[in-house]
Amino acid sequence: MPSPVPPGPADDIEDRDPGLARERTDLAWTRTAIAFAALGAAMLRTNAVAGALVMVAGAAVWGLGQLSARDARAAGRRYRLDQRRTVQIITATTTLVSVVALVLVLLAPARGSR
């Protein structure tokens, strides 16, 4: 390098391979799906149906992440899938899960009659 170039975005590895950001996002999707599945597994003990549904939601979240990543890859690492829709689906799912959990907790006995 003959000219003194100060360290900047040109030295950022992301500039050479912006796909790393996509990959990190892909992994974040996987972690989120695992979190859903774990919550569903924890719910199984109280309500098997609700737990199974949340676990299915975890699988759906994983699929959504794959879809999102594949679309991003197909578009040359640019977003094409309507990201707002994806984000809205996840928000609705988590809010719904919190409502279900709230109902399950409120149905639990206050004193623990055994």
Partner 1 sequence: MAGDPSRPAAHPVAGNGKPAQPPSPAGRSHDSDGTGEGGTEPDARFTFANERTFLAWHRTALALIVAGLAIVQFLPPFPGIPFGRHLLAVPLIVLGGVLSVASYLEWTRHQRALRRGEPVGVSVLPRVLAIAITLLAVAAAVLSVLAPASGN
Binding region for partner 1 (CB under 8 A) = 5-6, 8-10, 14-15, 18, 21-22, 24-25, 28-29, 31-32, 35-36, 38-39, 42-43, 45-46, 72, 75-80, 82-85, 87-88, 90-91, 94-95, 97-99, 101-102, 104-106, 108-112, 114
Give the chain as a DSSP string: --S-PPSSGGG-HHHH-THHHHHHHHHHHHHHHHHHHHHHHHHTTT-HHHHHHHHHHHHHHHHHHHHHHHHHHHTTSS--S-HHHHHHHHHHHHHHHHHHHHHHHHHS-SS---
| Least spacing, CB of residue 50 vs partner 1, in Å | 10
Least separation, in Å, of the C-beta of 2 and partner 1? 14
CB-nearer residue toward partner 1: 10 or 49: 10
Closest separation in Å from C-beta 34 to partner 1: 9
